[in-house]
Amino acid sequence: MKTYSVKAADIERGWHIIDAEGRVLGDLATEVACLLMGKGKVKFARHLDVGDNVIVINAGKVKVTGNKLHDKFYYRHSGYPGGFKAENLEKVMATKPGKAIEHAVKGMLPQNKLGKAMMSKLRIYPGAEHPHGGQVAASGEDQV
């Protein structure tokens, strides 16, 4: 008996469209992260990027529970004195609605080059329109 090891040539990538309208941010991010990693596939390998391409539409209509809209903050620092910035989720959703989903998904992926490659397969759009109709139709994937 031999153990099967996935090779780069054996990886088949599909396309998934996920509608974020009315979905809770954390639940949506979990589903997207699993699709990007390929955890639902038979040929899953933790050390390879075997995941599918994911398109998230209606990112501006995602829900959050509790008081997170006002109490959740995103922090960054420029590296210069006085360069600390903080934005709450409400302001982020008003200006860049995909940023909250991107931040949540990125935290659920590996924090290395593999995670960066997985994030490159994620596309987030604030409305219902996206330019990937040809790829989705060619792969035959359904909208989730």
Residue 71 lies in a domain: no
Rounded CA gap, 22 and 136, in Å? 23
Residues 41-52 have a mean pLDDT of 93
* 144, amino acid identity: V
- For residues 142 and 136, what is the distance between their CA atoms, to the nearest angstrom? 8
User: What share of the chain in percent tops pLDDT 90?
Assistant: 83
Q: What is the CATH classification number for the domain harbouring 53? A: 3.90.1180.10
What confidence tier does 1 reach under pLDDT thresholds 50, 70, 90? confident
Write down the residue that tokens 């589903």 correspond to: 31
Q: Encode pLDDT of 101-120 as tens digits.
A: 999 999 999 999 999 999 99
Number of domain units in the chain = 1
> Are 142 and 15 a contacting pair, CB within 8 Å?
no
State pTM to two decimals.
0.90
Residue 7 domain-assigned (yes or no):
no
Mutual orientation of helices 97-106 and 25-37 as an angle, nearest 10°?
60
pLDDT at 141 over 70: no
Residue 120 lies in a domain: yes
pLDDT band of residue 3 (cuts 50, 70, 90) is: confident
85 domain-assigned: no
According to DSSP, the β-strands at 84-88 and 53-57 are unpaired
CB of 143 closer than 8 Å to CB of 19: yes
Confidence of residue 140 (pLDDT cuts 50, 70, 90): low
Among residues 94, 84, 86, 88, the alpha carbon closest in space to that of 71 is found at 88
* 78, part of any domain: no
Q: Containing domain of residue 60, as a range?
A: 14-64+98-136
Task: Report whether pLDDT(144) > 70.
Answer: no
